[in-house]
Amino acid sequence: MGLTSKTVLLLAVLSAVLLFVGTVWQWPRLAGRGWRSVSARVALLLGTQLALFASVGLAANQAFGFYASWADLFGQETEQGVVVDHAGEGPLRVLDTRRVEGGGGRPEFGGQIQKVAINGRTTRIASPAFVYLPPEYFDPHERARTFPAAVVLTGYPGTAEALVDKLDYPRTARGLAEDGRMQPMILVMMRPTVAPPRDTECVDIPGGPRTESFFAKDLPAAVTAHYRVNRAPGSWGVIGDSTGGYCALKLAMHHPKVYGAGAGLSAYYKAPTDPTTGDLFHGDETLRNEADLRWFLKHRPAPDTSLLVTSSKVGESNYKDTLKFIELAKATHRTRISSIVLESGGHNFNTWRREIPPTLEWISERLSERLSGRASGG
């Protein structure tokens, strides 16, 4: 049974309840001072605590999608996603398809989600993703139409499935488009962790995975070659939460000719260095500085892109840093900055669900403005 199975969660909860009841029932019989009675009491208490801890952990994982499998949990994930040479294969392969929840069985009415494998031609990075295609993509009268695209990134160590099942990006995008609040858009949903279990922070690591290049070059090229995506410079958007939010902002700032808009939900603004990242920069001070987004705004030419940042006055640790980042971006007079600041909201899925609809509307509007501006020669 899988880590995210409801059966596993139910068994853990049932075990905790039975152990609690058993402890209460047997406690009088184990009231003696002998080593057997003491050992039995310790065993019952420890078993109850472990079962309770497992239940809470499994429930939290189901809600927030931290780990997709037992192998992922114990750091035994074998799908490395680096140095993979797929000679003869295309840059993108469709592995499976599924309908959008609540959209009916036919893609021309509800859209479609495709599970794909993306192979980076220049970086040799391979990574799975989920691609949402809106209903209009399958309309026979729209066969010549191209669509804007947005990459949607999880946090670390999130799962791409959580973007579909927990954060409801496809269903939200379809609903907003039906209401006329955003244009139909292709969403490419994936983890920023393309070299699991390492957290590469979307950095081109010297001698290691070239993650930033994968997202800036290989991914757009693979998707554009397979789907009817707008090819104009800056016609892509990128959205992410937490680590994915940092990556989204950095990609839009470093590569504005690819990503015309980037939204960081609960993002931070400087790549951390910890046991999950390892040595990202190998002594390269320029690389380290450019991974600090506030340093980048101060010392590099202001990027011609649109940025959206989110935080909460109560519950988010990035609130003060977000205000400083907004002021730095405003001072450039070139980088366009927007924000969503909630009165209260933690670093969790519930907060991001409140921010996703306005974020999708914002990114749709910004990409529309960018494309219309280019069409009119602006």
> What confidence tens digit (pLDDT) does each residue in 330-362 have?
999 899 999 999 999 999 999 999 999 999 999
Query: Which of helix, strand or coil describes residue 378?
Result: coil
* 184 pLDDT above the threshold of 70: yes
Question: What does the alpha-carbon distance between residue 8 and residue 112 come to, in Å, rounded to a whole number?
Answer: 29
Q: What is the pLDDT of residues 302-320, one digit of tens each?
A: 999 999 999 999 999 999 9
Q: What is the pLDDT of residues 145-171, one digit of tens each?
A: 999 999 999 999 889 999 999 999 999
* 80 pLDDT above the threshold of 60: no
Which pLDDT does position 74 carry in this prediction? 66
* DSSP per residue, 146-183: -B-EEEEE--TT--HHHHHHTS-HHHHHHHHHHTTSS-
* DSSP per residue, 172-226: HHHHHHHTTSS---EEEEE-S-SBTTB--TT-B-TTS-BHHHIIIIIHHHHHHHH
Query: Which of helix, strand or coil describes residue 105?
Result: coil
Question: What does the alpha-carbon distance between residue 52 and residue 58 come to, in Å, rounded to a whole number?
Answer: 10
**Nearest of 360, 366, 362 to residue 132 by alpha carbon:** 360
Edge to edge, the sheet with strand 259-265 lists 92-99, 112-119, 126-133, 186-190, 149-153, 236-241, 259-265, 306-314, 336-344
Question: Terminal CA-to-CA distance of the chain, rounded, Å?
Answer: 56
Question: What does the alpha-carbon distance between residue 76 and residue 65 come to, in Å, rounded to a whole number?
Answer: 17
Please, which residues have CB within 8 angstroms of residue 248's CB and are 6 or more apart in sequence?
151, 153, 238, 239, 240, 262, 263, 264, 267
Which H or E element spans position 313? strand 306-314
pTM exceeds 0.85, yes or no: no
Paired tokens of 128: 């799975």
**More confident: 104 or 359:** 359
Query: What average pLDDT does the chain have?
Result: 88
* 75 pLDDT above the threshold of 70: no
* 238 pLDDT above the threshold of 60: yes
**Nearest of 95, 206, 203 to residue 156 by alpha carbon:** 203
Which pLDDT does position 377 carry in this prediction? 45
Question: What does the alpha-carbon distance between residue 347 and residue 160 come to, in Å, rounded to a whole number?
Answer: 18
Which H or E element spans position 25? helix 6-26
Strand residues in 8-155 grouped as ranges (E)? 92-99, 112-119, 126-133, 149-153
Percentage above 90 pLDDT, the chain? 62
Query: How many helices and strands in the chain, by DSSP H and E?
Result: 13, 9
Which H or E element spans position 364? helix 349-375
**Nearest of 142, 136, 225, 219 to residue 185 by alpha carbon:** 136
Question: What does the alpha-carbon distance between residue 87 and residue 70 come to, in Å, rounded to a whole number?
Answer: 31
Which pLDDT does position 162 carry in this prediction? 93
Strand 126-133 versus strand 112-119 pairing type: antiparallel
Question: What does the alpha-carbon distance between residue 349 and residue 166 come to, in Å, rounded to a whole number?
Answer: 8
Span of 61-65, 199-203, 270-274, 342-346 with lowest mean pLDDT: 61-65
Query: Phi and psi at residue 76, in whole multiples of 5°?
Result: -110, 20
* 234 pLDDT above the threshold of 90: no
The Cα angle at residue 98 between residues 93 and 100, in degrees rounded to 5 = 125
* 83 pLDDT above the threshold of 70: no
**Crossing angle, helix 349-375 and helix 169-178, to 10 degrees?**
50
* 82 pLDDT above the threshold of 80: no
Contact 237, 260 (CB under 8 A): yes
Which pLDDT does position 262 carry in this prediction? 97
**More confident: 8 or 150:** 150
* 85 pLDDT above the threshold of 60: no
Q: Long-range contacts made by residues 204-207, C-beta under 8 angstroms, separation at least 24?
A: 204/287, 205/280, 205/281, 205/282, 206/281, 206/282, 206/284, 206/287, 207/282
Question: What does the alpha-carbon distance between residue 126 and residue 82 come to, in Å, rounded to a whole number?
Answer: 6
